[in-house]
Amino acid sequence: MADKRMTEAEVVGRLESGMVIGIGGWGSRRKPMSLVRAIARSGLEDLTVVSFGGPDVGLLCAAGKVRKVVYGFVSLDSIPLEPHFRNACQSGAIQSEPLDEGMLQWGLYAAALRLPFLPTRAGLGSDVMTINPHLKTVRSPYADEEELVAMPALTLDAALIHVNRADAAGNGQMLGPDPFFDDLFCRAASRAYMSCERIVPTEALLDEGPVQSLHINRMMVHGVVEAPGGAWFTDCAPDYGRDEALQAQYAASAKSPATWEAFRAAHLSGEEG
């Protein structure tokens, strides 16, 4: 099996300005923050970010890397609304495409299946359809002729995810209670990069957890980064919980350009890997 180990810098070197990048995790849980921080320090710009968003989205918005965000929500969990993302939306610095959570999932699934769209009831009767006038509906070809949302595929240029354990070939293991959608992000992307708390031999993965915890297989992944604490400051159970004090400092840094620059200097200046 091919050895796919890389550094954060090498992953960022495979990305380009203007790309559509999907970021796994969920809110302020299991976000690939060492990769996000590396992007924030890079020269990349004009990115479209697709995410069940948390500080990944807000940090990249604050760093001026984002043109557009496609999202089901953007939250810090214990802080309901991500303040840097809110600032970017209210100032008009980014384009915002809010979707029902089920629509976002279905868009990734359509891309994973290489379909142009999938029909869904999610979003019907809501302002999602008004806010996003490009979304279309279709009629069922069967007797009921039900009207459904035609959720377009969310095809990604690259996906970034973080897991608890991985092997060098790209098999990924999630040991916490929240494994949702990272496999879809990988399958919806042309290339996927996975950071992990620890790289272990393939045969040792089943010593870490049951076979059901192996949510990512090597065919989905093009690069593996060993990044202990790589989800900092988000939750990465059972390895560590969310650093609520540091998250509060991050949220407070959205109050002014000066507080953001101070946080950035303190926590984003060093290189990863």
For residue 204, being part of any structural domain is answered with yes
Res. 183: pLDDT tops 70? yes
User: Phi, psi at residue 47, to the nearest 5°?
Assistant: -85, 145
Please give the residue range of the domain that contains residue 16.
Answer: 8-114+155-267
Rounded CA-CA distance 57/55 in Å is 5
For residue 143, being part of any structural domain is answered with no
User: pLDDT tens for residues 79-113?
Assistant: 999 999 999 999 999 999 999 999 999 999 999 99
pLDDT confidence of 143, banded at 50, 70, 90? confident
What are the residues whose beta carbons fall under 8 Å from the beta carbon of 164, sequence distance 6 or more?
Answer: 173, 174, 175, 176, 196, 197, 198, 208, 209, 236, 238, 239
For residue 172, being part of any structural domain is answered with yes
- When divided into structural domains, the chain yields a total of 1
Q: E strand or H helix at 189, and its extent?
A: strand 189-199
Rounded CA-CA distance 183/174 in Å is 11
For residue 206, being part of any structural domain is answered with yes
For residue 249, being part of any structural domain is answered with yes
What count of Cα atoms within 13 Å lies in the side-chain half-sphere of residue 122?
Answer: 16
Q: Across residues 50-56, what is the average pLDDT?
A: 98
Average pLDDT, the chain: 96
DSSP state of 23: E
For residue 238, being part of any structural domain is answered with yes
For residue 78, being part of any structural domain is answered with yes
For residue 220, being part of any structural domain is answered with yes
Res. 273: pLDDT tops 60? no
Q: Across residues 224-251, what is the average pLDDT?
A: 97
Query: Residue 55: which CATH number?
Result: 3.40.1080.10
Residue 252 falls in which region: left (phi positive, over 0), alpha (psi -120 to 50) or beta: alpha
CB 153 within 8 A of CB 115: yes
